[in-house]
Amino acid sequence: MFDTLWINIHAATMAENQADGFGIIKNAAVGIQGKNVSWIGPAAELPGKPGALSQDVRDGGGKWMTPALIDCHTHLIYAGDRAAEFEQRLQGVSYADIAKAGGGILSTVRATREATEQQLYEAALGRVRTLMREGVMTFEMKSGYGLDTATERKILRVATRLRDDLGLRVQRTFLGAHALPPEYAGRADDYINFVCNEMLPALDAEKLVDAVDGFCENIGFTREQMEKVFKIAAALGLPVKLHAEQLSNQRGAELAAQYHALSADHVEYLDEAGVKAMADAGTAAVLLPGAFYFLREKQLPPVDLLRKYKVPMALATDHNPGTSPTLSLLLMLNMACTFFRLTPEEALAGVTRHAARALGFQDICGTLEKGKDAAFVLWDINHPRDLCYYFGNNPCSDRMPTGKTL
Ligand code: DI6
Ligand code: FE
């Protein structure tokens, strides 16, 4: 009846509308057929003896099972690092000042343009493997450190190879509108026209793009410029998302909602009108406590308003060399609780069900439910809230599928 049957586990299904928030099933059993969950419930309700239901019965040893984790906002593919800028910031130079002086994103762009595809692949592979050790099996990976067609292509090809070589779910996001490349200095509108008329259509035609993002900020691009990009994305049938309201309120989330964005990300400066627009459009909020911490931001995202209007809150690492060089999604759970006052069940939903939603993957992964991916983690913990409580600890003891090259 089942290809594999797991018994002697406790499950936190993270399914929607569960009274306890986690969807806890003590003494659970999980039946798998092919690549999907085909049965989940209390072991006492199994329709027969385990041995009669499957030839492959696995004993989970009383561990806790959750859906595999999802990192729904990353910039994992780049060359070099920005440790020297970190030191500059410790001396009091601001992130915006470093960017204005040609450092910041542009210094990573220079290093990434110089790197070969193989060098980029190997650098990113190490980062992905580190995240996988914490049970992350689905990733979003953005381009945006190329800002020319050849380098953006190189980054998106690396994302494709990581997806295929490691057997992961990956959403490849084109972030051409991340920063103004030096060859377009003072000509932001010309660069946006190049993104819209050449780079995005060319990379989409090569089947390298699953979604489109941009950086709507006073040190990034304006709403008007982002709208041009969104119009082309819509014409190509690609979903959009936006770095919005990270450092100031540009009303980017409203624009994103107008284009039925999957998510608006960062959102520290989001106001009530923006929250309402997101709720009406079904746009998720992606909270990024790593960047908040590393930039020592003071403005908190409007968590109460997001709750009030029932906007799903996802959580991600935002891994990037400038503002969030973290390789721990579990640490983000603790930071989201500590800094943003999320409850543990909200935080865990943020890296499972709501993260799936932020990628448009809600029908395929993010919860332990019949018909969804049989992708899960076994944790050596006493309760799912422990994943948010400890920090700098990795209780992942097993995961399925294990990935092809691990
Ligand atoms: N917001 C971020 O947090 C990253 N990109 C963005 O638009 C930072 C990218 C960097 O500093 O390299
Ligand atoms: Fe980001």
Q: Is 194 part of any domain?
A: yes
In angstroms, rounded to a whole number, what is the distance separating the alpha carbons of residues 47 and 50? Answer: 9
* 336 and 386 co-located in one domain: no
Measuring from atom 10 of ligand 1, which residue has the nearest CA? Answer: 322
- Strand, coil or helix: 393: coil
User: pLDDT, tens digit, for every residue of 184-207?
Assistant: 999 999 999 999 999 999 999 999
Tokens 């798998």 appear where? Answer: 32
Q: Is 190 part of any domain?
A: yes
Parallel, antiparallel, or unpaired: how do β-strands 69-71 and 136-142 relate?
A: parallel
215 CB near ligand 1 (under 6 Å)? yes
Quote the radius of gyration of the chain (alpha carbons, Å): 21
Burial of residue 114 (CB within 10 Å: 0-12, 13-18, 19+) is: exposed
- Closest ligand to Cα 265: 2
Q: Is 23 part of any domain?
A: yes
* 31 and 85 co-located in one domain: no
pLDDT, residue 403, reads 54
* 102 and 45 co-located in one domain: no
* 118 and 159 co-located in one domain: yes
* 53 and 86 co-located in one domain: no
Give the length of the chain.
Answer: 406
pLDDT, residue 99, reads 86
* 347 and 283 co-located in one domain: yes
74 CB near ligand 1 (under 6 Å)? no
* 63 and 109 co-located in one domain: no
316 CB near ligand 1 (under 6 Å)? no
* 389 and 303 co-located in one domain: no
Distance from chain centroid for Cα 332: 11
pLDDT, residue 406, reads 40
Pocket test for ligand 1, best of 73, 76, 105, 212 (most atoms within 8 A of CB): 105
Q: Is 328 part of any domain?
A: yes
Q: Is 406 part of any domain?
A: no
The CATH number for 60's domain is 2.30.40.10
Q: Is 405 part of any domain?
A: no
pLDDT, residue 102, reads 83
Q: Is 160 part of any domain?
A: yes
Q: Is 246 part of any domain?
A: yes
Longest Cα–Cα distance in the chain: 71
Query: For the chain, which residues score pLDDT lower than 50?
Result: 405-406
105 CB near ligand 1 (under 6 Å)? yes
Say what angle helices 117-132 and 149-166 make with each other, to 10 degrees. 40
* 35 and 182 co-located in one domain: no
Q: Nearest CA to 213 among 171, 247, 252, 242?
A: 242
* 265 and 300 co-located in one domain: yes
Alpha helices in 167-319 (DSSP H): 188-194, 200-205, 223-236, 252-258, 272-281, 289-294, 303-308
* 322 and 373 co-located in one domain: no
Q: Who contacts 277 (Cβ-Cβ below 8 Å, separation ≥6)?
A: 253, 254, 257, 258, 283
Atom of ligand 1 nearest to the CA of 324: 3
DSSP class of residue 71 equals E
Measuring from atom 11 of ligand 1, which residue has the nearest CA? Answer: 322
291 CB near ligand 1 (under 6 Å)? yes
Distance in Å, CA 141 to ligand 1 centroid: 13
* 57 and 203 co-located in one domain: no
- Closest ligand to Cα 292: 1
| Structural domain that includes position 63 | 4-68+368-400
Domain count of the fold of the chain: 2
In angstroms, rounded to a whole number, what is the distance separating the alpha carbons of residues 342 and 333? Answer: 9
In angstroms, rounded to a whole number, what is the distance separating the alpha carbons of residues 156 and 154? Answer: 6
Q: Who contacts 288 (Cβ-Cβ below 8 Å, separation ≥6)?
A: 73, 265, 266, 315, 316, 317, 318, 324, 332
Task: Quote the strand ranges of 259-406, DSSP E.
Answer: 263-266, 284-287, 313-315, 376-379, 396-400
Atom of ligand 1 nearest to the CA of 215: 7
The CATH number for 177's domain is 3.20.20.140
